[in-house]
C-alpha cells in the first residue's frame, strides 16, 4: 500500500516536472521567435526593401503562447501579481494559511471558468472557420494558447492548494 | 448599479485576502457578466482580441531586454562609466546610483531589472566606501522608479495599450518629470550624506589619470551607450515602431553580449527569457481579465459614476485634479503599478478627459503618481524587493531615504506634472510638430 502511494507521488511529480519543462521550452522558443521575426522584418524592409507581407500576423499568433504559458508559469513560480494586504495585518500563521487556501481555491475556480468558456469559444471558432486576414490560418492557433494556458493555470493553482494544505505551520 | 458596487467591493476584498489580482478581476467580471446578461464567451473573445495588438508586443521585448541587461553583465559597464565620470566626489556614488538608473531607463524601462542590476551592484560597492547599507538600499529603491519614466517605459506601454493612447507620445511626456526627479533625488542625496560621517572621499587623481579612466570606461560601455540612441532615434525618427525598436535592441544586446563582451551565455539567455515570460504573463493576464471586467464597467457607465462622485465633492478644477491624484495615490498604494495603470487608463482616463486633462498629460501624471505607489506601502513591490537586493534588510533599516524621496521629490513632481501641463506636454507637442 505504502509502495503504491510512493509510486503515485513519484509519477505525479514526473508529470508535473514534464509540464513545467514544456512551459519553459514554449516560453523560450516563442520569446526568441517574436524577437527574431520582428527583427527580420525590419532588416527585410530597410536593407532589402522587401518586407514579408503578413509576418506580423504570425508573430501575433505566436505571442499569445508567450503570454498565456508565461502566465501559467508565473503561477507555478508563484510570481503572479498579488495585493494581499491581509497577510501584512494578520499575524497568526494558522489564519493566514486558511486565507491562502481560500484565495488559491477561488483562483482555481476562476481559471477553470476561463478554461470552460475558452473551450466553448474555440469550438465555435472552429465551426465558424475564423481565419487570419493574410495567411488565412485558423485563428484558433492563437486562441488555443488561452485554452492550454488556462488549463495549466488551473493545474498549477490546484498544486499550490495541495501544497498549502500540506504545509506545516 | 448596487450590484456593480457590491461586486467591485467583493473583488477588492478577495484581492486584499490574497487572491491574485488578475483572478479577482476575473471573478468580478464573470459574476457581473452573469448579473447583467452579458455573454462570457463573447467577453473572453473580445478581451483576447484586444491583447492581439502589435504595440503590446513591445512589452515582453523590453522586459527581455531588461533581464538580459541585468543578468548579462551589461549594466556593470554602465555603472563603471558613470562612476568614472562623477564617482570621485563626496556622495558621488549616490549620484552614480541615481544617474545610472536614469541611463538604464533610457535603455529598457523595467524598474525591477534596474533595481536588481544597479542596486545589486552598487549597494555592496557603496558599503565599502562607508555608505550605510540601509541608506544605499533606500536610495536604490527610490531611484529605480526613474527607469519607468525615462523612455522607453513599460508603464507607458501598459497605459497606452489599455487607454488607446499614442505610446511614442507617452514616452516623451514623462521625460521632463523624470529629469526633475533625477535632479531632486541628487539634491536629497547631497543633503542626506552630510549626516553620514563614515562616507569616504576617493583619493584625488591627476587629470590625465582621470581622463584615462573615463576613456577606458567609455570604450567598454560604448556599445551599450549606442542603444538609447538606436531606440530613441529609431522611434522618433519615424524609422521603427516601439515594438520594432525593442526587438532590434534585444537582438543587438544578444550580439554584443555573445560576440563582443562575451559575458552572455545560452543559460543566461534561457533564464532571462523565462523570467521575462513569467513577468509578461503575470501582467498580460491582469490585462486580459480587466478587459473582461471593463466591458461590464463601461456598459454600466462606471467612468460617469466616478465623474459624478468627483463633481459632488467640488466643482473647482484644481480641487478635482487634486482629488484625482489622491485616488491615484490610494490605488497605487493598494495595487501594483501594472494593475493600477490598467485601471487608471480604462476607468479614470475618461473622467480625467472630462475634466479637460489631455490623455498624454494624464499618462504622465499616472506614471509619476503610480511610480511613487511602487515604493509606498502597503503594496510596494520595489520597496520590499529593495530589502532582498540590499541583503535581507528590514524595512526600518532603509525606509528613510525612500520616505524623503516620496516627500521631497515624488510628491512635488506629481504636483508640478498635474498643475503645469507644459511639463508633460511640451515634448509631445514638439514631436507632433515634427510630423506635421
C-alpha cell at A164: 498549502
* Cβ B144 vs Cβ B410: under 8 Å: no
Q: Which residues of B touch A77 (CB under 8 A)?
A: 278
* Cβ B146 vs Cβ B105: under 8 Å: yes
B436 burial via Cβ count (<10 Å: 0-12, 13-18, 19+): exposed
| Sites in chain B below the pLDDT cut of 70 | 435-436
* Cβ A147 vs Cβ A154: under 8 Å: no
For residue B99, give the 3-state DSSP assignment.
helix
Residue of B nearest to A109 (CA): B27
Most confident of A26-30, A133-137, B329-333, B396-400: A26-30
Distance from CA of A157 to the nearest CA of B (A): 11
What single DSSP character describes residue A82? -
Higher pLDDT, A7 or A47: A47
Interface contact B395, partner A, CB < 8 A: no
Integer Cα distance of B97 and B406 in angstroms: 17
pLDDT at B203: 75
Q: What is the pLDDT of residues B70-124, one digit of tens each?
A: 777 788 888 888 888 887 777 788 998 999 999 888 888 788 888 888 888 889 8
Pairwise CB contact (< 8 Å): A110 & B247: no
Pairwise CB contact (< 8 Å): A69 & B277: yes
Pairwise CB contact (< 8 Å): B17 & A59: no
Q: What is the ipTM of this complex?
A: 0.91
Q: Which residues of A touch B284 (CB under 8 A)?
A: 67-68, 70-71
pLDDT at B435: 64
Q: What is the pTM of this model?
A: 0.87
Max distance between CA atoms of chain B, in angstroms, equals 77
Integer Cα distance of B252 and B258 in angstroms: 10
C-alpha cell at B170: 507617452
Residue listed under C-alpha cell 495541495: A162
Amino acid at each position: 500500500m505504502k509502495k503504491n502511494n510512493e509510486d503515485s507521488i513519484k509519477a505525479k511529480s514526473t508529470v508535473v516536472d514534464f509540464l513545467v519543462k514544456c512551459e519553459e521550452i514554449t516560453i523560450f522558443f516563442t520569446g526568441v521567435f517574436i524577437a527574431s521575426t520582428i527583427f527580420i522584418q525590419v532588416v527585410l524592409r530597410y536593407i532589402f526593401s522587401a518586407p514579408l507581407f503578413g509576418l506580423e500576423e504570425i508573430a501575433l499568433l505566436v505571442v499569445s503562447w508567450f503570454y498565456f504559458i508565461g502566465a501559467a508559469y508565473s503561477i507555478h513560480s508563484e510570481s503572479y501579481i498579488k495585493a494581499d494586504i491581509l497577510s501584512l495585518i494578520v499575524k497568526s500563521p494558522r489564519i493566514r494559511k486558511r486565507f491562502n487556501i481560500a484565495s488559491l481555491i477561488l483562483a482555481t475556480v476562476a481559471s477553470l471558468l476561463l478554461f470552460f468558456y475558452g473551450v466553448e469559444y474555440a469550438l465555435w471558432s472552429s465551426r465558424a472557420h475564423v481565419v487570419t486576414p493574410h495567411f488565412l490560418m485558423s485563428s484558433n492557433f492563437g486562441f488555443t494558447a488561452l485554452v492550454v494556458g488556462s488549463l495549466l493555470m488551473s493545474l498549477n493553482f490546484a498544486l499550490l492548494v495541495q501544497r498549502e494544505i500540506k504545509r506545516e505551520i | 448599479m448596487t450590484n456593480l458596487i457590491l461586486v467591485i467591493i467583493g473583488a477588492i476584498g478577495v484581492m486584499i485576502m490574497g487572491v491574485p489580482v488578475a483572478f479577482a478581476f476575473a471573478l468580478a467580471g464573470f459574476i457581473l457578466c452573469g448579473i447583467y446578461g452579458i455573454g462570457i464567451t463573447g467577453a473572453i473573445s473580445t478581451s483576447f482580441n484586444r491583447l492581439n495588438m502589435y504595440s503590446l508586443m513591445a512589452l515582453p521585448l523590453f522586459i527581455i531586454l531588461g533581464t538580459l541587461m541585468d543578468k548579462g553583465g551589461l549594466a556593470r559597464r554602465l555603472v563603471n562609466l558613470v562612476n568614472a565620470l562623477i564617482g570621485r566626489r563626496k556622495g558621488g556614488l549616490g549620484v552614480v546610483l541615481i544617474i545610472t538608473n536614469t541611463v538604464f531607463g533610457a535603455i529598457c524601462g523595467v524598474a525591477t531589472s534596474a533595481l536588481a542590476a544597479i542596486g545589486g551592484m552598487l549597494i555592496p560597492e557603496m558599503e565599502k566606501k562607508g555608505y550605510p547599507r540601509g541608506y544605499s538600499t533606500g536610495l536604490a529603491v527610490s531611484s529605480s522608479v526613474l527607469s519607468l519614466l525615462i523612455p522607453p517605459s513599460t508603464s507607458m506601454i501598459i497605459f497606452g495599450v489599455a487607454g488607446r493612447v499614442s505610446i511614442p507620445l507617452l514616452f516623451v511626456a514623462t521625460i521632463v518629470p523624470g529629469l526633475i526627479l533625477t535632479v531632486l533625488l541628487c539634491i536629497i542625496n547631497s543633503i542626506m550624506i552630510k549626516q553620514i560621517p563614515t562616507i569616504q572621499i576617493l583619493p584625488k587623481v591627476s587629470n590625465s589619470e582621470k581622463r584615462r579612466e573615463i576613456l577606458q570606461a567609455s570604450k567598454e560601455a560604448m556599445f551599450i551607450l549606442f542603444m538609447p540612441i538606436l531606440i530613441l532615434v529609431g522611434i522618433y525618427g519615424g524609422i521603427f515602431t516601439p515594438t520594432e525598436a525593442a526587438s532590434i535592441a534585444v537582438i543587438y544586446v544578444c550580439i554584443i553580449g555573445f560576440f563582443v563582451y562575451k559575458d552572455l551565455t545560452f543559460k543566461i539567455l534561457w533564464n532571462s527569457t523565462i523570467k521575462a515570460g513569467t513577468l509578461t504573463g503575470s501582467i498580460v493576464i491582469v490585462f486580459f481579465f480587466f478587459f473582461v471586467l471593463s466591458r461590464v464597467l463601461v456598459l454600466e457607465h462606471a467612468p460617469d459614476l466616478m465623474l459624478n462622485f468627483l463633481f459632488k465633492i467640488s466643482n473647482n478644477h484644481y480641487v478635482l485634479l487634486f482629488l484625482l491624484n489622491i485616488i491615484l495615490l490610494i490605488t497605487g498604494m493598494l495595487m501594483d503599478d501594472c494593475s493600477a495603470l490598467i485601471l487608471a487608463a480604462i476607468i479614470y482616463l475618461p473622467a480625467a478627459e472630462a475634466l479637460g486633462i489631455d490623455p498624454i498629460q494624464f499618462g504622465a501624471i499616472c506614471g509619476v503618481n503610480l511610480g511613487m505607489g511602487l515604493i509606498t506601502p502597503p503594496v510596494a513591490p520595489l520597496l520590499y524587493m529593495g530589502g532582498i537586493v540590499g541583503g535581507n534588510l528590514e524595512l526600518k533599516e532603509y525606509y528613510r531615504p525612500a520616505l524623503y524621496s516620496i516627500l521631497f521629490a515624488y510628491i512635488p513632481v506629481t504636483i508640478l506634472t498635474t498643475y503645469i501641463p507644459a511639463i508633460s506636454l511640451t515634448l509631445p507637442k514638439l514631436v507632433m510638430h515634427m510630423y506635421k
